[in-house]
Structure 1
Amino acid sequence: MHDLPELMALLAGALAVTALARRLGFSAPLALVVVGLAMSYLPGLPDYQLDPEIVLVLIIAPLLYSAALRSSSIGIKANLRPIGLLAFGLVLFSTLAAGLVAWRLVPGMSLGVALVLGAVVAPPDAVAAIAIGRRLGLPRRIMTVLGGESLVNDATALTAYRVAIAAVIGSGLSLLGGVGMFLLAAAGGLVVGYVVGWLVHQVRARLDDGNLESAVGLLVPFATYLLAEEIHASGVLAVVVAGLYLGHRAPASDAATRLQDRAVWDAADTLLEAMVFALIGLQLRTVVEGVSADLLPLTAAGLAVTAAVVAARALWVFSTLYAPSWLSGKRDAPPWRHAVVVSWSGMRGVVSLAAASAVPVATLSGAPFPDRAEVMFLAFFVTLATLLLHGSTLPWLIRLLGVRGQESYTDALAEAEAQHNAARAARDRLDDLTRESEPPGMVADRLRQAAQHRSNQAWERLGRSSDEVGESPSEAYRRLRGEMLAAERDVFVRFRDEHRIDDEVLRRVLHELDLEELMLRRE
C-alpha cells in the first residue's frame, strides 16, 4: 500500500461510503466493512496489504490519542475497577480462551501459536460500539467504561502478543520472564506518556501561537509511540497517557487553540476511521489466498474461536460485576441490562489484523513460523464476524432493553448552577473594572445583558420542552441571530464578488461571523 494514487483512491472511496452511510442513517463502520468485502474481489483492484508498523504508528496511535484527549480522566478514575478488569483481566482471559479453542480445533497448531492467535483477537475495538452508544444515548458510565477499555486493552494485548511470539520463535523466554516483560512494558508506557504529556504542556504554554500549538499537538501521538517503542515500553499505553494528561489540561490553552485542535482531530478521526474499516473489508482476498489448507475446517475453527471470545466476554463481565456483590451479600451491582450491553460490545478491529500481519515469517532458527497463514485467516475471520454480528445487532439490543442515559436533567441542573455562578462572577468583575470609569455608550449594559443571557440559557433547559411551552427566549435569540448572521455573510460575499472588498477582508470577517455562529450552537 505504498502507491500514492492507490492510497488516495482508498481514502476517497472510504469517505464517500462514510458520507452516504451517515446520510442514510446507517452505521458507517459496518457499511465500510461490507463495501470493502464486496470490492475485494473486483478485477483490477489494487492489493491493499496491511503494513503493521504503518497501521500502528500512523493510524492506531493518532486514533487512540484523539480518543484520550476527549476522554474524562476523572471519569476513568471513578470507574478504574471495571475498566481495569476489562482492559487487563478480560484481555488475558480472552487470550487464554481463544488460544485453547484454536489449539484443540486447528490440526497441528501448537499451544504457543494458538496463544499468539488468542492475543491477536483478544482486544475489542470500541470505535463502532461507542459511535452506536452515543447515537442511541447510552448511560455515561457505560460509555466511559467502554471508552476506557478501548484506550488500554490494545496495550495489554500487544504486550501479551510479544510474550507469546517470543516463546514461539525460541527466544528462551520463561513464564516469569514473560510476566516481567509485561510489567516493564506497561510501567515504561505509563512513565513515557506522563513525561511527554508534561513536557508538551509546558512547551505549548510558552508558545503563545495557536498554529504552533496545534502543530506540536499533531506530533505528540507519533513521537510518543516511537519513543516508547524504542525503549521497549508500550507505545500504545504511552500515547493514551499523554492524551489523557493533555486533554485534562486543555482548559489552560488559548480558546482559539482549543477550537482549532478540536476541528483538526475531528477531521483526522473521520479520515482514519474510514480508512481503518475499509481496510478490514479489503483484506478478504489477500487473507484467503494466503491459506493453503482446506478452508472448510478452518472456517469451522473460526466460528468456534469467535464463539469463544464472545462467550468469554459475557462470562467475564457478569462474573466480575455480580460475583463480589453476591459473595458480600450486597446488592449494589449495576442493572443486568447494562451488563448485557457491555458484554455485547466486543467488536474486534484493525489492531487484530495488524498484529496478525506482524507475526514473524521465520523463527530464530530460520524455520518458517508455524501456521502463520492460519493465524492471519482466523484473526480476519474473528474480526469480521464480531464486527458484523455485534455491529448489526447492538442498536437493536439497546433499544430492546431500553438502556438509555438519565444524565440530561442532572447535567442541565449542574450546568445551570455553574452558569449562574459564572455570570455572577463576570458581573462582579465588570463592576470592579467600571467602578472608577464607565465605558462609553451602553457597553457595560450590553455586557451585563450578555452575561445574564448565558445564565438564562442554562435555566431554560431545565423547564418543559419547546413542544410544550413554545420557543424560549434563548432559542428565539439563537434562531433570529443566526438568520442575521446569514444575511451579513451574504452581503460580504456579494461585496467580494463585486470586487468592492478583497478576499483577505472576506476571510477575516467570515472568521468572526463563524465564531459567533459556533457560540450560538448548542450540542
Structure 2
Amino acid sequence: MDAEIFYVLVGAVVVAAIARWRGWPAPLLVTVVALAVSFLPFVPELRADGHLLLNLVLPPLLYSAALDVSFVGFRRSLPQIRRLGIWLVLITAIAVGLIAWWIFPDLGLPGALLLGAIVSPPDAVSAAAIGRKLGLPRRIMTVLSGESLINDATSLTLYRVFAAILAGATVSVWGGIWQFVVAVAVGVGIGLVFGVALHQLRMRISDPVVIGTFGLLAPFGAYAIAEHLNGSGVLAVVAMGLYVGFNAPRTDYTTRQQEKPIWLSADFLLESFVFAYIGLQLPRVVSDLGAESIGEILLLSGAVLVVVLIVRPLFIFPANAWANFQDRRRLARWDRGVESGEFQKRQKQSRRWGQYTPDELRTQIVRERMAGLQLTWKDNAVISWAGMRGVVTLATALAAADLATLDERASHAIVVVAFIVTVGTLLLQGLTLPMLIRRLGIASDVDHAEDEKALAAVKERSRTAGKAFLAEKRVEWERKYGEVDLSIFDAFAKRMTRVEKDTDEAQEVEDSVAKPSYDDLVALSKGWLQVRREILLEERDKGNLDEEVMRELIAAMDAEELAMDTRGATRPGERA
C-alpha cells in the first residue's frame, strides 16, 4: 500500500505539473488521467479511510489559504462572505437534499440532506487561479477567498448534524443552531489561542527551519483539539491562519521567505493526490452500484449538478439587491440627521477623521462601512459562476462513504454524485469562467489607480520618517565616531535605497582609518528598511493601503535584506 500511494503521488504531481505548464485546469486533468488509468488491468485497487483523508488534507489547505487572505479585506467584505459562506451553503444543502430525496428515496431525508451538505461548499482554488491570471479586481477575489474559508465550516457542521441524525440522534432546529454557535465559538477561540502562540514563537525564534516545522504542525493541532471539544476545526484553522498571516510582516524576513514555497508545495501535492485518488476510486464505486442503479444515479447526479448551478445566482443577485436597499435606507437616515452626531464624534476621537469636512467624512464612513457591498451586477455575475466544487467535497464524500449508518448503495451513490458534481462544475464553470470575465470586461484597472494614489501617500510618509530616522542615527554616529566620519554617513545615506552600492561603500569605510564598520552600515540599511516596513503596516492597519500591495512591497524589502545578509556572509574573513 505504501508503494501504491507513492506511485499515485508521483503520477498526480507529474500530471498536475504538465497542466500548470500548459495552462490547463490541473484538478480536472489529474482526475481524468486517474480515471483512465484506473481501467488498466494491472492497476491495483487503492483504498484509504475517508475520515483520515479529510483530517490530513483539510487543515493544511485551509491554513495555507487563510495565510494569503487579506484580513482587512476579509473584514470589509464580511457581509457578502457571511451570506455566501453560511446562508448560501444552507439553502443549497436544503435544495439539493429535497431534490435528491425525491429522485432517490433510498437515501432517506437525512441521507439526502447529508449529500446536500457535501456538495454545497464551492472551492475557490480554481476560481482564484483563474482570477489572478485574468486580473480580477481584489474586491471579487476577497469575496471568493473569504467564502471558501467560511463555507467549509458551515458545510462540515451540517454534515455532522445530519450524520448524527442518521445515527439515531434526535436533533431539533434549535439544537442544530446551538451546535453551530458552539462550533463557531470554540473553533474561533482555539484558533486564536494557537495563532497567538505561533506568532509569539515566530517573534522570538529566529530559526526558520524550527518555525516552519511548528507552522506545519499547528494546523493539525488546532483542528484536532477544536473537533475534540465539539468546535469547528475548520474555523480554528482559519482563525489561526488569519491571525498569523495578518501579523506575518512583523516577524523575521527569513520566516516569510521560507514558509511561502513550503505551503505552495504542500497545496500542490495534497490537491493533486485527492483528485487522483477520486479518479482511481470511481470505477470501483460505479461497479459496486450494479447495472440496475446506474441510470438512477446518473439522473440524480445530473439533477444535483443543475441545482448547484442554479441556486447560486438565484441567491446572490436578490441577496445583494436587498443588502444595497438596506444600505440606502441607512444612508437616508444619516442624511436626515438621525446619526449626524457621529461626524463630530469621529472628528474628536481621530486625527485622521479630523482632517475631513462633514461631507467628506460622510463619504469616508460610507466607504468604510459599505466597502464590502459595492459590487456591480458584473461582479455578482462572476461570483455566481465561480462555484466550482473541489477537494472538500470529494474528501467529505469519501468520509461519508465510511459511515456505518449508510447502506452500501447509498454511500456509493453519494461518492458518485460528489464526483460528477465536482467534475461537472470544473468543466462547465471552470472552462467558461475566463470567457465570461473577458466578455464582461472586468479588470483590476480601478485597483491599480487606487494603489498608485495610496503608494504616493506612503512614499511621502516614508520620506518624512526616513529623514527623522537618519537624523537620529547621525547624532548617534557623531557621538560615537566624531565629526570626521559624518561625511561617510552622509554619502552612504544618499545611497540607502540602492542596496547594490552598499558593499563598495562599506569596503571603502573598512579600508580607511575611520571607525565605522561594515556591520554599522548594514545596521543602518536594515534600520531604514524597518522604518519603511512600519510605515506600510501603519497604512495597512488604517485601511489606506491594500494588504496585497503591502505584502508585495514587504517581499521586495525582504529581498533587499537577504541580499545584504548574503553579501555579509561571503565577505573575506567572515566565511564559515
Given the two structures, how large is their TM-score scaled by the length of structure 1?
Answer: 0.81
1:286 corresponds to which of 272, 280, 284: 284
Other-structure match for 2:310: 311
Over 3 Å counting, the alpha-carbon distance change for 1:506 and 1:198 in structure 2 is closer
Check the 8 A contact 1:361/1:369 in 2, yes or no. Answer: no
Deviation, 1:133, is 0.6
Other-structure match for 1:468: none
Deviation, 1:233, is 1.0
Check the 8 A contact 1:280/1:350 in 2, yes or no. Answer: no
RMSD: 2.9
Check the 8 A contact 1:163/1:182 in 2, yes or no. Answer: no
1:422 aligns with 2:421: no
Over 3 Å counting, the alpha-carbon distance change for 1:256 and 1:335 in structure 2 is same
Letter matched to residue 375 of structure 1: I
Deviation, 1:391, is 1.3
- Alpha-carbon distance in 1 for matches of 2:234, 2:212: 21
1:372 corresponds to which of 399, 408, 411: 411
Check the 8 A contact 2:54/2:399 in 1, yes or no. Answer: no
Deviation, 1:410, is 1.9
Over 3 Å counting, the alpha-carbon distance change for 1:268 and 1:444 in structure 2 is farther
Over 3 Å counting, the alpha-carbon distance change for 1:232 and 1:291 in structure 2 is same
Check the 8 A contact 1:14/1:278 in 2, yes or no. Answer: yes
Q: Deviations over 1:189-230 (max 9, x none)?
A: 111111111122223322233322222112111111111111
Check the 8 A contact 2:182/2:231 in 1, yes or no. Answer: yes
- Alpha-carbon distance in 1 for matches of 2:167, 2:409: 9
Which has the larger Rg? 2
Letter matched to residue 422 of structure 1: S
Other-structure match for 1:402: 441
Other-structure match for 1:170: 168
- Alpha-carbon distance in 1 for matches of 2:248, 2:155: 30
1:112 corresponds to which of 106, 110, 113: 110
Deviation, 1:346, is 0.8
- Alpha-carbon distance in 1 for matches of 2:404, 2:168: 7
1:356 corresponds to which of 382, 397, 401: 397
Letter matched to residue 314 of structure 1: P
- Alpha-carbon distance in 2 for matches of 1:301, 1:68: 34
- Alpha-carbon distance in 1 for matches of 2:45, 2:567: 45
Deviation, 1:158, is 0.6
Over 3 Å counting, the alpha-carbon distance change for 1:274 and 1:419 in structure 2 is farther
Deviation, 1:508, is 6.1
Deviation, 1:142, is 0.5
Deviation, 1:424, is 4.0
Check the 8 A contact 1:49/1:286 in 2, yes or no. Answer: no
- Alpha-carbon distance in 1 for matches of 2:434, 2:161: 37
Other-structure match for 1:344: 385
Matches within 5 A, 1:197-208: 197-208=195-206
Q: Deviations over 1:306-346 (max 9, x none)?
A: 10111111111111111343577779862211111101111
Other-structure match for 2:473: 433
Deviation, 1:52, is 2.5
- Alpha-carbon distance in 1 for matches of 2:93, 2:251: 41
Other-structure match for 1:228: 226
Other-structure match for 1:320: 319
Check the 8 A contact 2:188/2:236 in 1, yes or no. Answer: yes
Deviation, 1:123, is 0.7
Letter matched to residue 435 of structure 2: W
Over 3 Å counting, the alpha-carbon distance change for 1:108 and 1:27 in structure 2 is closer
Q: Deviations over 1:357-379 (max 9, x none)?
A: 22265657xx8477222222212
Secondary structure of 1:110's aligned partner: helix
1:124 aligns with 2:122: yes
Check the 8 A contact 1:30/1:391 in 2, yes or no. Answer: no
Other-structure match for 2:521: none
Letter matched to residue 146 of structure 2: G
Matches within 5 A, 1:19-98: 19-98=17-96
1:267 aligns with 2:265: yes
- Alpha-carbon distance in 1 for matches of 2:49, 2:424: 22
Other-structure match for 1:450: 496
Over 3 Å counting, the alpha-carbon distance change for 1:102 and 1:202 in structure 2 is same
Deviation, 1:5, is 2.1
Letter matched to residue 392 of structure 2: V
Deviation, 1:440, is 8.2
Over 3 Å counting, the alpha-carbon distance change for 1:170 and 1:421 in structure 2 is same
Check the 8 A contact 2:401/2:414 in 1, yes or no. Answer: no
Letter matched to residue 301 of structure 1: L
Q: Deviations over 1:433-481 (max 9, x none)?
A: 23314658856423422337999xxxxxxxxxxxxxxxxxxxxxx9xxx
- Alpha-carbon distance in 2 for matches of 1:449, 1:506: 17
Aligned residues, how many? 461
Q: Percent identity?
A: 41
Deviation, 1:101, is 0.7
- Alpha-carbon distance in 1 for matches of 2:73, 2:304: 33
Check the 8 A contact 1:291/1:377 in 2, yes or no. Answer: no
Over 3 Å counting, the alpha-carbon distance change for 1:418 and 1:161 in structure 2 is same
For structure 2, list consecutive stretches of 5 or more residues without a partner in the other structure. 332-372, 500-527, 530-555, 572-576
